[in-house]
Amino acid sequence: MLDINWIKANPAAFDAALSARKNVPFKASELIAMDDSRRAAILAVEEAQALRNALSKQIGQAKAQKDEARANELMAEVAALKDAIQAGEATRKEAEEKLRNALLVIPNIPLEEVPRGADEADNVEYFGPNGSPATAAKARPQKPTFTFKPREHFETGEALGQMDFEVAAKISGSRFVVLKGHLARLERAIGQFMLDLHVDQHGYTEVQPPLLVKDDALYGTNQLPKFKEDLFVATTSTELELQEMQDLFKEIVDRDEDTRELLERLEGLESTSDGTEQGGGLRELLHELKETRRFDFQQMDQARTKGVALFERLENLPKGLWLIPTAEVPLTNLVRESILSEDELPLRYTALTPCFRSEAGSAGRDTRGMLRQHQFNKVEMVAITTPETSGDEHEKMLSDAEDVLKQLGIHYRVMTLSTGDMGFGAQKTYDIEAWLPGQDTYREISSVSVCGDFQARRMDARVKGKDGKIRHVHTLNGSGVAVGRALIAVMENYQQEDGSIAIPEVLQPYMKGLKSIGARS
């Protein structure tokens, strides 16, 4: 989230900086007008409160002077002010929410060095802070050469009998896969290798975070509200039964006015977690409500009585949770609503977790194979730094991700994303693209971004400097790397003419010394 005070002080710079971004919904002038309305609403409430306090003192004085007429007149004014203050508070709250909701959908401002462009065609290859194409080529693994036409990963995996998309579709639908045997073990080995590398050699702290998170966590890392359609939400059986209850009440509400109150409570009740007692009581209530289709008013009274008691228990249960699209969400939120000491920074976290994405905008893309899945494993890196060190930390994080591919012996390139291709919350992003010989192209395997204080403002994550001043921290995140895509890269780069897969030397200890995966191994 951007700072409205900075926008007010730099409206032209704000508009110019975001002119290269896609779908920016508001100009600086519109945001400033919203803030002016918010401030006016706050001032109106404060003035009304001050007047009420002054009149309240006069009431006391009038009563002391036994001037009941004046006291009654003043009390009437205070009563009127009470209504005005309540209305003013509602106006203030509405103005604050309007401004906040607007700021939540404004993308981050790109750094000056980010290439301006409309889309991925305007991305620029990056060779390091002081590098060149020649030095980069020397430092990176070379493309493999083959005496046969390289196969795509799914062709090899299916031929081995260890990669099954048909069975996965029967179980879960499209964009899922079942890995078996040594191929399943190879995927696990890749993830463990990456995690060990980042912890033992790159200085990250391993974390095992929750996979289910609250709304606030996703707002903090800018997945909400803009990218809600890309997420999976965990719906409990209780929530489904509550929806059924709501539908039943809608059938009978016109016949029974007393049911309206319970219906309103149903509509206001959000997702809840189920418990044995609550779930059982809900199912009993559902049964009774179904009977009310006969419009037996005695049964309806009994149902209402049980329903009210049930809601008193249910309304205090935790709300529904979201499946994480990336471990960036829980790792970055480790510092939410906190003030860190500058001596603690940088903080570096890493985690190997499943990730869940709906791929809402990917219809028809990468429908074969494992490249674009609803569920996949990924090693994530997150860093929390001071504003002065985030640029250097970005280069380090990129280097850490590159090291994974160097040790795996996978050829790759690095691209600096243009303003039109960069993620919503990033100031600057590097993509690492692994060479896939089966596709004869590069594909993204890691994305490494610096976000400045954009996420920190949403999370209220701050740092107290040695001078005592408190500022927002800077956050960074990067894939270190996507495990499924790394498996694809290993399968395609290490494939053999007989259909087997050679195992990279660095992974062999994780495979109990196995050096290749042969047909039906």
Which amino acid does the sequence have at 438?
G
The residue among 273, 293, 314 that closes a domain is: 314
Q: How far apart are the first and last CA of the chain?
A: 51
Scored b (16 or more CB within 10 A) or e, 221-240 reads bbbbebbeeebeeeebebbe
Q: Which two structure tokens, joined as six digits, stand for 232?
A: 């999976």
- Give the pLDDT score at 259: 53
Domain check: are 222 and 288 in the same one? no
Going by DSSP bridges, is the β-strand pair 338-341/461-464 parallel, antiparallel, or unpaired?
Answer: parallel
Q: Give how far Cα 131 sits from Cα of 128, 139, 442, Å.
A: 5, 10, 21
- Give the pLDDT score at 274: 44
* CATH classification of the domain holding 12: 1.10.287.40
Close Cβ partners of 14 (under 8 Å, ≥ 6 residues apart): 2, 6, 7, 28, 109
Does 476 reside within a domain? yes
CA distance linking residue 16 with residue 18, whole number of Å: 6
- Positive or negative, the Cα torsion across 264, 269, 270, 271? negative
Domain check: are 310 and 334 in the same one? no
CA distance linking residue 385 with residue 514, whole number of Å: 41
Domain check: are 371 and 445 in the same one? yes
Domain check: are 440 and 329 in the same one? yes
CA distance linking residue 166 with residue 172, whole number of Å: 10
Q: Is 365 helix (H, G, I), strand (E, B) or coil?
A: coil
* CATH classification of the domain holding 124: 3.30.930.10
Query: What total number of domains does the chain contain?
Result: 3
CB 480 within 8 A of CB 432: no
The residue among 314, 347, 373 that closes a domain is: 314
Does 182 reside within a domain? no
Domain check: are 288 and 327 in the same one? no
Find the domain containing 45 and state its range.
Answer: 4-104
- Give the pLDDT score at 271: 40
Instruction: Report the chain's mean pLDDT, rounded to a whole number.
Output: 87
467-486 pLDDT, tens per residue? 999 999 999 999 999 999 99
- Give the pLDDT score at 140: 94
Domain check: are 246 and 388 in the same one? no
- Give the pLDDT score at 73: 86
Does 501 reside within a domain? no
CA distance linking residue 287 with residue 347, whole number of Å: 53
Please identify which residue in the block is written with the tokens 């994974």: 404
- Give the pLDDT score at 305: 59
Rounded to 10°, the helix 259-268/237-252 angle is 150
For 407, other C-beta atoms within 10 Å of its C-beta total 17
- Give the pLDDT score at 244: 60
Domain check: are 286 and 410 in the same one? no
The residue among 314, 334, 362 that closes a domain is: 314
Q: How many residues does the chain have?
A: 521
- Give the pLDDT score at 62: 85
Q: Provide DSSP, 298-342.
A: HHHHHHHHHHHHHHHHHTTSPBPEEE-SSTHHHHHGGGTTEEEEG
Spans of the chain, pLDDT less than 50: 258, 267-280, 292-297, 317, 521
Does 499 reside within a domain? no
Does 384 reside within a domain? yes
Close Cβ partners of 54 (under 8 Å, ≥ 6 residues apart): none
Does 269 reside within a domain? yes
Q: What are phi and psi of 16, to 5 degrees?
A: -65, -40
Domain check: are 33 and 59 in the same one? yes
Domain check: are 211 and 359 in the same one? yes
Q: Which residues pair with 478 in a beta bridge?
A: 381, 448
Does 185 reside within a domain? no
CA distance linking residue 230 with residue 336, whole number of Å: 23
Domain check: are 13 and 99 in the same one? yes
Domain check: are 99 and 130 in the same one? no
Q: Which two structure tokens, joined as six digits, stand for 305?
A: 């009585």
Domain check: are 409 and 487 in the same one? yes
Q: Is 495 helix (H, G, I), strand (E, B) or coil?
A: strand
Whether a cis peptide bond, with omega within 30° of 0, leads into 225 is yes
Does 115 reside within a domain? no
- Give the pLDDT score at 311: 54
